[in-house]
Amino acid sequence: MGFVILKSFANYIDAHILLGRLEEEGIQCWLKNENTTTIMPIWTTAIGGIQLMVNEDQSQRAGDLLKKFEAEKKKVTKCPECGSEDVEYINTMRKPVNWLSAAITFLAGDIAVMPEQRYHCFSCKSEWKG
């Protein structure tokens, strides 16, 4: 019985949320690289993030569930500025400025602080916390 990567995450909180939801649906799954990423958040992207591994036999169903969850998330999310539904949940660690602040946080020894996630609106470019 093999396992395949369903999705990669840069944030362990998101990974855990999805893991829990898939387990509720009876999908056998686990997180790879989780320990490394939690201890060394700044290395997350370098090592490919946290990978959500699912039972190969259930990967088709897990993929369908993933699409369903993402569709649900999109459906309930609207931009507070312009009301557009053309929004996406993003990880701010993708941006250099936040990589820098993450590095400072890391060097300061506060490794408990995780990258922040926000919603981004493609219509008016505004961002806000979920």
Binding residues (CB under 5 A) for Zn ion: these are 79, 81-82, 84, 121, 123-124
Nearer to Zn ion, 22 or 121 (CB): 121
Find the helix packing angle between 59-75 and 12-24, rounded to 10°. 110
Q: Count of CB atoms within 10 A of residue 111's CB?
A: 13
Spatial strand order in the sheet of 29-32: 3-9, 50-55, 29-32
Dig out the tokens for 117 from the structure.
């996630």
Q: How far is the CB of 74 from Zn ion (least distance, A)?
A: 14
Nearer to Zn ion, 84 or 101 (CB): 84
Q: How far is the CB of 85 from Zn ion (least distance, A)?
A: 9
Nearer to Zn ion, 103 or 124 (CB): 124
Nearer to Zn ion, 19 or 79 (CB): 79
Q: How far is the CB of 128 from Zn ion (least distance, A)?
A: 9
Q: How far is the CB of 81 from Zn ion (least distance, A)?
A: 4
What CA–CA distance (Å, rounded) separates 94 from 51?
17
- Identify each DSSP E strand in 3-79 by its residue range: 3-9, 29-32, 50-55
